[in-house]
Amino acid sequence: MNKADVLLGLQWGDEGKGKIVDVLTPKYDIIARFQGGPNAGHTLEFNGIKHVLHTIPSGIFHPTAINIVGNGVVIDPVIFKKELDALTNMGVDFKSKLLISKRAHLILPTHRLLDAASEASKGKNKIGSTLKGIGPTYMDKTGRNGLRVGDIESPDFKEKYNVLVEKHKQLLAFHQYEYNLAELEPAWFTAIDALKQLTFIDSEHYVNDAIKKGKKILAEGAQGSLLDIDFGSYPFVTSSNTVCAGACNGLGIAPNKIGGVIGIFKAYCTRVGSGPFPTELDNETGEKIRQIGREFGATTGRARRTGWLDIPALKYAIDINGVTELMMMKADVLSDFANIDICTHYIHRGERIDYLPFSIEPSEVTPVYETVKGWNCDLTKLTAKEQLPKELSDYVKYIEKAVGVPITIVSIGPDRTQTIHM
Ligand code: GDP
Ligand code: IMO
Ligand code: MG
């Protein structure tokens, strides 16, 4: 039976999903985003040019692949239009190969204002949201108030918009938040018009038909498992299910039609925004990783927090997602370290554990490390697995043994070509 594959981030986002989707797209007919929205920033590099996508799937630069924005995604028309404009400037013809689900929810200008108001009211307990309106939009979705892409075609779209905005104005007044909506609305409606040049589809039918016809589908996750609304470090998470099951809800793919589950992780860890991070290196070593790895957000430009690889967290993500193969990113960033630490366990209430407990706050877990030898050589020009230094091969084997899943790609640079197939 033909099945859809799913590609996910296993850490706190920014693992390098965009790069790998781009690398894998030639093997697929359809690339589909299933959750999240413009909080995502997926980077791909080829021919010396770097591209950052927020809502549009990372298969868009390939000539034939169809790219679908699924029902589980939330769309900010203004950001979406900017992405389309960038593609137009590059001469990418997206009209025939970019399709949007009618069931995807729209981010209104007031959702963004509410995001900012909510974060401001949380003070030092803020989530560290990207402020793209993600939380408030998903709240309206589950609250059954949301506006969807399919509504754009309805004659009373403007009326529906106004009803929702009135509700938001009351909430903004509650937050005593000052704003100027009149400044934001014209661009939003212009962008809604721009969206109309694309084809709105019943993506669940499209995707299931494609599966029946034997088409190869790759579902592209956004964020990472440790930011999942159910399984992440709540409340410091995003507002969608970033795990594999999210691809079922966010595209209408039945669980028995999920095939391979590709888990993407960095050779170390990063996190942007607030929340616990057991293996964080709030020191010179962390700064060195940040500088070499250029760990600054693709969406907000914020400095990413950095730390060593966390095996308990990786195992947790592998279990929850049913990961069938792993891809390890940014191995080149660790090239200049004589020794590398790997967190193998936590001490939790005096006991050694190798899973993620309810809370991973510093008061609850202390990471236990094993130190391995670094590879200390430039990897970025290598082209085959036989060329990998022994210490890196050992690092790969160590992780495979610890988690019980094979690593099929080791990434050694941001470019499409800097990809070693194992
Ligand atoms: P995503 O959100 O998972 O798609 O990841 P981001 O694009 O937010 O962040 C990953 C960053 O690392 C981007 O700047 C990529 O260009 C870069 N990158 C991806 N793979 C590698 C790699 O193997 N080595 C290095 N040095 N950079 C990489
Ligand atoms: P990609 O797809 C990294 C983080 C934010 C914040 C929390 C909630 O590029 O990996 P939100 O805007 O969703 O309300 O923010 O989640 N976050 C991400 N961190 N990569 C992302 O996406 C992220 N999307 C959201 O920094 O801590
Ligand atoms: Mg990113």
Nearest-CA residue for ligand 1 atom 14 is: 43
DSSP secondary structure letters along 260-281 = EEEEEEESSEEE-SSS--TTB-
Q: Residue for token digits 């080791």?
A: 410
The alpha-helical segments, DSSP class H, found in 213-352 are: 245-251, 284-292, 311-321
Tens-place pLDDT, residues 377-404: 999 999 999 999 999 999 999 999 999 9
Atom of ligand 1 nearest to the CA of 52: 7
- Expressed in angstroms and rounded, the spacing between residue 385 Cα and the centre of ligand 2 is 33
- Whether residue 323 is predicted with pLDDT greater than 90 in this model: the reply is yes
- Expressed in angstroms and rounded, the spacing between residue 40 Cα and the centre of ligand 3 is 5
Residue type, 109: P
Nearest-CA residue for ligand 1 atom 20 is: 414
Report the C-alpha gap between 355 and 71 in whole angstroms.
32
- Expressed in angstroms and rounded, the spacing between residue 264 Cα and the centre of ligand 2 is 16
- Work out the mean pLDDT of the chain and round it to a whole number: 97
Tokens of 191: 């962008």
Atom of ligand 1 nearest to the CA of 333: 26
> Residue 343: beta bridge partners?
310, 369
Q: What are the two backbone dihedrals, phi and then psi, of residue 109, each rounded to the nearest 5 degrees?
A: -55, -35
Atom of ligand 1 nearest to the CA of 21: 4
Nearest-CA residue for ligand 1 atom 6 is: 14
Report the C-alpha gap between 113 and 107 in whole angstroms.
11
- Expressed in angstroms and rounded, the spacing between residue 15 Cα and the centre of ligand 1 is 6
- Residue 301 confidence class, pLDDT cut points 50, 70, 90: confident
Tens-place pLDDT, residues 184-221: 999 999 999 999 999 999 999 999 999 999 999 999 99
- Whether residue 299 is predicted with pLDDT greater than 90 in this model: the reply is no
Ligand 1 within 6 A of CB of 252: no
For range 362-382, the mean pLDDT: 97
- Expressed in angstroms and rounded, the spacing between residue 17 Cα and the centre of ligand 1 is 8
- Residue 297 confidence class, pLDDT cut points 50, 70, 90: confident
Ligand 1 within 6 A of CB of 333: yes
Atom of ligand 1 nearest to the CA of 293: 26
Ligand 2 within 6 A of CB of 37: no
Nearest-CA residue for ligand 2 atom 19 is: 13
Residue type, 82: K
For range 244-266, the mean pLDDT: 98
Active-site positions read: 14, 42
Report the C-alpha gap between 43 and 329 in whole angstroms.
13
Taking the CA of 275 as reference, the closest ligand is 2
For range 247-255, the mean pLDDT: 98
